Structure 1
């Protein structure tokens, strides 16, 4: 099934289950057929790829990904209007839509899902899903949940009324925020703000008592601490951690603190929302019937299983609107060299990198107040005209804000907006005494060519396997 026409969600889901049941060979067959269809469509409908393939001498028939050139977010965003395969989709209109918080959760151009991310490489990304990609995302979600949940788990969720609590950022077209906006208004779904003070979040969760809880990973760790202290009193059946990695023992701690909840996670990205999901053995399995991950070194040469990669090249086989082919995702992985004991036929890997960093400040009564990094980062990512930023804690009560304005942006107005937003968030957490100062220097790149958005005063975090925004590392 190549899904050349608008797909049936039921057919996609049925095929997803069939592919998994039949194993690695069935997934590989689908992968090859879908790659051929995607390349043919892209060459015909995307002016950018047509020129690129002509310049690189890409053959008419492509059976091997290695025959295709490598791409990246910066070059693709620069050529956005020629990259997309729908000529009616224009970057200026997409940016105007993305800058309007009133449009969060609504379809762009009446038919596409739009999400944004700044990531860590300094280029804002605007990503679109068409009907095909949306159907595949839904099917992979269903396959993920059926792989995670037993009949007993499903019964526990049903016994708790099927209530789901999402903890998401405010103000931007982030993938989780868009999903929450579409679910808002349903009585069994609570969309809570990751920016609110922890005690308010705890109070809301105690009142709602979710059966399924989906917070950022670092927020999940803070909630587990609140549960250990007796302040948070919930016992969800399933906890889905997103967006960050944690030290490995934290996953078991969160499970114990939240009443023995099953804790699961996935590795995903705006470029491919359905990329993978975690298994009981602590590995992430790529949905290889719809996505390809190539671990490579710094020269883009293949890295063998068992060895850490420098980055990965991602190919999304579902999205024919905004083709992602051999796209440098920037995450480092290690692929398992032998079959995973869980039995999942998808390639098994672990994502390597920096664990989530927590910022700790002295509170007004002397007790420490801890903030997760992503609430701060997502708050600023939603500011129009801000190309890149970095928040550095220089002492216990000072944050230094490094800004890189987009071309044509009023620097003074941008500074006032970012300072105000960050100060207001700190005040909500009873941290009005924390000073936000303006840095003269721009955001600083790390040795790997990425920018760490939030840097605590304590220094480097514990290594624990992490990916960027909208992706996570696996528990054990």
Structure 2
């Protein structure tokens, strides 16, 4: 057994060992959640100040042992640029150096070795290939344990209440290599009796359909865009499976995909939210009343464009996130450009936790045209999502409008949605827009992660 396989086996065992506690935490009250957050915030900041030169200078003036959650706004935010500029000073293990970690990742990409654990205990991943700003982040042993449980603990609790009948088979569609976090995370089942089939998101859709038909999974986990394509395949009669549960990740889930899953299989989709920086930290329960935020593992602050906390979460521009699990790469008030709408009201899936009731996408995904005309992605979604002949699309901004690549079905006629988009853009302030829609067999995906970036702004 090679070193990676053995480390992976031990890691999954530790993940499952923590599962009973992770599931029990779903019953915490709001007071219990906040008490845990306060305790972990003090521990994380104390460790960071003691072991990270960056945080010693930045937060050394604070009494970490007396920190309260209400003190967070006094701490300056940190960005991905901060992380990359001060990487060696941020990490708390003096053995770690950015150049060495990058060399490790490059060797993995080149196939020079296959041990994805760096120094036998850390998982390294790069992110930002689709946004243009690269970042390199580390998960320590604890971060992965917490993240894997946050991903599937809702499912485990539901299985305890309603044990599944028949074979337990989950098909996981993710990146093809462990270099991307999705390959490490999503095939990690908390139920040791559950079998998994792992498919690369870069697999041609016809081949993917064939393998799924052979495997007959009762559960489906995958990128939101891939699941949407599979829904279309099922509605067209080519995909003949009967999943009982679907979990989407890594990309915005559109309402059209939920409707297609309901039409194809009679079930709704459980959505999730997270990132390479912090792991997956929100999943949707069976109430479908929003994704429960794993606030035992992160603190999330909705803020405006100036990073000021907003009273009304619906008015937030983006969020600041503080990691409460793992200590090797502390992230305290880290800027994430995702635009989340949080609900502080009663959560039917976990009483002590807030919910994400809407993910509007990234605040940097708006299309900005000459004259500071700003177009939200919803302008395109409202048209393209209503055309029954379009199952998937990518919108590429052009100087005077947009080029749309679309996977189409049946007798598709582009003139109607083209005219509708031109009118919608005019209504949003962009008159005389130039719009084209091209039918394609597949959409361009990131070469390493296989993710689809649905809205592609012009390079700044």
CA contact (8 A) 1:180 1:191 kept: no
How far 1:262 sits from its partner (Å)? 5.0
Pick from 246, 261, 283 the counterpart of residue 239 of structure 1.
246
Structure 2, unmatched stretches of 5+, are 1-10, 362-376, 382-391, 395-404, 413-437
> How do 1:288-327 and structure 2 match up within 5 A?
288-327=295-334
1:269 aligns with 2:340: no
Deviation, 1:128, is 1.4
2:212 pairs, out of 205, 215, 218, with 205
Answer 1 or 2: higher relative contact order, Cα 8 Å, separation at least 6.
1
8 A Cα contact 2:137 2:276, kept in partner: yes
Evaluate the alpha carbon distance shift between residue 249 and residue 390 of structure 1 in structure 2; reply closer, same or farther with a 3 A threshold.
closer
* 17, 21, 29: which one aligns with 1:23: 29
Q: Show the 5 A alignment for 1:246-285.
A: 246-257=253-264, 259-279=265-285, 280-285=287-292
Size of the aligned set, in residue pairs, is 373
Partner Cα separation in structure 1 for residue 441 and residue 252 of structure 2: 17
Cα separation, partners in 2 of 1:344 and 1:173, compared to 1, 3 Å: farther
Q: 1:334 to 1:390 in 2, by over 3 A?
A: closer
* Partners of 2:270 and 2:288 within 8 A in 1: no
Superposed displacement of residue 179, structure 1: 3.6
Residues 352-376 of structure 1 deviation map (CA, whole Å, 9 limit, x = unaligned): 134684433799xx99544345xx1
Which of 64, 67, 71 does residue 62 from structure 1 map onto? 67
Q: Which one of the candidate residues 118, 134, 150 is aligned to 1:124?
A: 134
Give, in angstroms, the shift of residue 110 of structure 1: 1.0
Partner of 1:333: 340
Partner of 2:38 in structure 1?
Answer: 32
After TM superposition, the structure 1 = structure 2 runs for residues 59-458 of structure 1, keeping only pairs within 5 Å, are 59-60=63-64, 61-63=66-68, 64-99=71-106, 100-101=108-109, 102=111, 106-118=116-128, 121-149=131-159, 151-152=161-162, 154-156=163-165, 159=166, 161-171=167-177, 173-179=179-185, 188-257=195-264, 259-279=265-285, 280-349=287-356, 350-353=358-361, 354=377, 357-358=393-394, 359-360=405-406, 368-372=439-443, 376-377=445-446, 379=447, 444-445=459-460
Tell me the SS of whatever aligns to 1:220.
helix
Name whichever of 289-298 and 122-131 sits farther off.
122-131
Distance 1:290 1:179 in 2: 16
TM-score between the two structures when normalised by the length of structure 2: 0.72
Cα pair distance change 1:147/1:15, threshold 3 Å: closer
Contact 1:105 1:181 in 2 (8 A): no
Q: Which runs of 5+ in 1 are unaligned?
A: 1-5, 383-388, 394-401, 403-442, 446-476
Q: 1:137 to 1:104 in 2, by over 3 A?
A: farther
- TM-score, normalised on structure 1? 0.70
Q: Aligned in 2, Cα 1:94/1:105: closer, same or farther, shift over 3 Å?
A: same
Question: Deviation at 1:178?
Answer: 3.0
CA shift for structure 1 position 265: 1.5
Change (3 A) 1:12 1:172: closer
Residue 189 of structure 1 aligns to a residue whose secondary structure is strand
The C-alpha deviation readout for 1:20-62, integer Å capped at 9, x for no partner, is 32311111111100000000000000111112225xx444542
2:333 aligned counterpart, secondary structure: strand
Shift of 1:201: 1.0
Match of 2:57 in 1: 51
Q: Deviations over 1:348-405 (max 9, x none)?
A: 1222134684433799xx99544345xx12x1669xxxxxx99999xxxxxxxx9xxx
In 2, the alpha carbon distance for the partners of 1:66 and 1:187 equals 43
CA shift in 2, pair 1:76/1:255, >3 Å: same
Q: Residues 291-313 of structure 1: CA distance to partner in whole angstroms, max 9, x if unpaired? A: 10000000111112352311100
Contact 1:20 1:27 in 2 (8 A): no
Over aligned residue pairs, what C-alpha RMSD do you find? 3.4
1:261 to partner: Cα distance: 4.1
